[in-house]
Homo-oligomer: A and B are copies of this chain.
Amino acid sequence: MVSLDDLNAASRHRFVEVLGGVFEDASWVAERAWGSRPFPTVTALHQVLYDVLSEAGENRQTEFLNGHPDLAGAAAQQRTMGEHSTAEQAALGLDRLDAAGFDRFSAMNLAYRERFGFPFLICVRRHTRASILREFERRSANSAAAERAAALAEVFRITRLRIAGLVQGPGMPAVGGGLSTHVLDTARGQPGAGVRVELFVLEPEGAELVSAGTTDRDGRVPGGLVPDGEPLRIGLYEIRFYIGAYFADSGLPVSDPPFLDVVPLRIGIAEAEAHYHVPLLASPWTFATYRGS
């Protein structure tokens, strides 16, 4: 991490050294932005960088977009992309696709590039594999103008996240989301303590465990299911609450097998920068949930 103060005081060389990779190999973006120092906030720094690109003319932009690797393409497999892209695609498992997955992405990349003249860009850190496939399909139906705008909007999101990870200072951009839960034992009017909770993301290949924990005395999973900070990946999730085991020890009347044992809540996350609070209100015979706050 570098401080905003340091960047504001940096030479052009140093400035470009630090920020040159934010816009994927296009160090000219940082070079041009250097003249606008000092930046009052980190958000303003990012906006100025982005404005350089957005005012650069269509040819320059197309060239810039073409400087990006294919999503889940050969560069990802061979890890020959820029450092940022490598880490981002790896975190989602895009470098470990099996042959069928690789072929699927390859075919979509090819068709997209043919149609629009640049590779498919998306802010990978805001997405699950399932939502990326959905966006691929949805955006492939766009007009050329709409899709150029969509690609640039993704560049905005990608670079905002990179800046937030690189620069420390006042006015940080709001890039984080999170997911938390809370178990209430509505039969006894108390927090549901000691309940195992698991979070799965529902990917095309099946459910993958994201996190697991046990509720504390206040009925909450310490740290949340997805801690705030990173974007909350857009997609489908399932939270599983092991309330059968919890109520088995409660002295409350239950059946065998219990009416409610493992309660799955299947939810869709649409806002990567929001905090979702999804409580479970439960007795052995009823449960309720809602998007809370």
Question: Which positions in A face B, CB cutoff 8 Å?
Answer: 131, 134, 182, 184, 186-191, 218-219, 234-236, 244, 252-253, 255-264, 266-271, 281, 283-293
Contact = CB atoms under 8 A, between A and B. Distances in A.
Nearest to A234: B257
A187 B187 contact: yes
B219 A285 contact: no
Nearest to A278: B259
A235 B236 CA distance: 27
Contact of A260 (B255, B263, B268): B268
B266 A262 contact: yes
A178 to B, nearest CB: 15
B271 A281 contact: no
Q: Most chain-B Cβ atoms within 10 A of its Cβ — which of A186, A244, A268, A269?
A: A186
> How many identical subunits does the complex contain?
4
A166 B165 CA distance: 50
Contact of A261 (B131, B186, B266): B266
Contacts of A191: 293
Contacts of A187: 186-187, 252, 283-285
A291 B189 contact: yes
20 contacts: A134-B257, A182-B293, A184-B290, A186-B186, A186-B283, A187-B284, A189-B253, A189-B259, A189-B291, A191-B293, A236-B261, A258-B270, A259-B268, A260-B267, A261-B266, A264-B264, A285-B290, A286-B288, A288-B288, A288-B289
A263 B266 contact: yes
A268 B271 CA distance: 34
Contacts of A289: 286-288
A252 B252 contact: yes
